[in-house]
């Protein structure tokens, strides 16, 4: 059975790598107007990933996989590590309060988390929920997501289309920010949280970033840890992110960030994404990442794929 799973993992990586390369090739062909007649006979890349996208973990299990699931569900649980890599500093606890107040157009303040929802918040170790969410017994890797221009865009100048308004008080100075969610971010977070332990790592101050992350994950179901500017390393008037602060085992960590400078310390762990500044309501960059992220969780070392610089 172990041999069958390894073969399936290799097939999954190759399969989704081909899909991703096809998407890149299609975009290159689309840039040439004289090739439009040819493109009409090819499937559209956006048809490959949408709300009907079926990840590997949701497909029919291999013969005998149901027995592995049953064994996993009845095996004694191990002690929860305090962080992604077992280090005390790896998981940053959720702040009880911050120096910012947030509001929406329909109500003021964020909803209080019930004990039931708090108990269901994911932690650094993966837990078995159902046959469709255990990824065939794989240990969850860590997916680190940038915040601004990757998941959201914020601006002091807003409009009625803003999803959220945040008042930030820093050094006794109040600033109002209008926050816009990137298209498909809710679906993206819901899906990747089934595959990975998700953390947000931003160079922004906690007073601003905390309420923005609360907007993306009001119930605490998807994002397990938060890292702010205090965890970054200053570099050339910018900030770099040392992923070892999130998980010391870098073979199991992936970072999605719109700025390559953010992962210059760990270049073979980064996946670039086009920055989003609320300019394209039909943006699908997050959806385009799903096949690659789905395949990466089956590799022994994510750097063996990301070092090829296919993205």
Tokens of 191: 């899906």
Q: Which of 148, 210, 214, 217 is catalytic?
A: 148
Tokens of 260: 């390559």
DSSP 123: -
The answer to whether residues 255 and 262 touch, using CB atoms and an 8 Å cutoff, is: yes
Give the whole-angstrom CA distance, residue 163 versus residue 179: 6
Tokens of 200: 């947000």
Element (H, E) at 177: strand 173-181
Is 186 catalytic? The answer is: no
List, in order, residues 6 or more apart from 59 with CB less than 8 Å away: none
Give the whole-angstrom CA distance, residue 24 versus residue 310: 9
Number of Cβ within 10 Å of residue 191's Cβ equals 21
Is 146 catalytic? The answer is: yes
Q: Which of 50, 71, 146, 214 is catalytic?
A: 146
**Biggest alpha carbon–alpha carbon distance for the chain:** 62
Give the whole-angstrom CA distance, residue 145 versus residue 212: 13
Catalytic residues: 146, 148
């Amino acid at each position: 059975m172990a041999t069958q799973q390894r073969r399936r993992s290799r097939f999954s990586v190759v399969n989704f790598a081909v899909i991703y390369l096809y998407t890149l090739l299609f975009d290159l062909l689309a840039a040439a107007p004289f090739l439009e007649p040819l493109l009409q006979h090819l499937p559209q890349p956006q048809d490959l990933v949408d709300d009907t996208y079926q990840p590997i973990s949701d497909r029919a299990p291999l013969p005998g996989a149901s027995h592995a699931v049953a064994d996993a569900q009845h095996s004694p649980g191990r002690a929860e590590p305090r962080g992604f890599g077992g280090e005390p500093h790896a998981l940053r606890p959720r702040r009880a309060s911050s120096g910012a107040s947030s509001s929406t157009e329909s109500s003021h303040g964020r909803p209080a988390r019930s004990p039931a929802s708090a108990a269901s918040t994911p932690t650094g170790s993966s837990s078995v929920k159902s046959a469709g969410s255990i990824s065939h017994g794989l240990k969850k890797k860590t997916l680190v997501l940038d915040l601004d221009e990757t998941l959201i865009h914020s601006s002091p100048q807003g409009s009625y289309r803003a999803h959220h308004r945040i008042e930030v008080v820093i050094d006794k100075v109040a600033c109002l920010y209008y926050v816009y969610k990137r298209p498909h971010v809710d679906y993206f977070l819901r899906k990747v949280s089934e595959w990975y332990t998700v953390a947000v790592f931003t160079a922004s101050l906690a007073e601003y970033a905390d309420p923005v992350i609360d907007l993306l994950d009001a119930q605490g179901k998807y994002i397990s840890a938060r890292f702010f500017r205090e965890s970054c390393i200053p570099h050339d008037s910018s900030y770099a992110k040392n992923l070892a602060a999130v998980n010391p085992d870098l073979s199991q960590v992936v970072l999605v960030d719109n700025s390559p400078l953010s992962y210059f310390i760990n270049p073979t762990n980064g996946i670039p994404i086009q920055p989003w500044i609320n300019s394209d309501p039909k943006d699908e960059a997050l959806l385009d990442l799903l096949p690659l992220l789905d395949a990466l969780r089956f590799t022994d070392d994510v750097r063996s794929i990301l070092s090829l610089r296919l993205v």
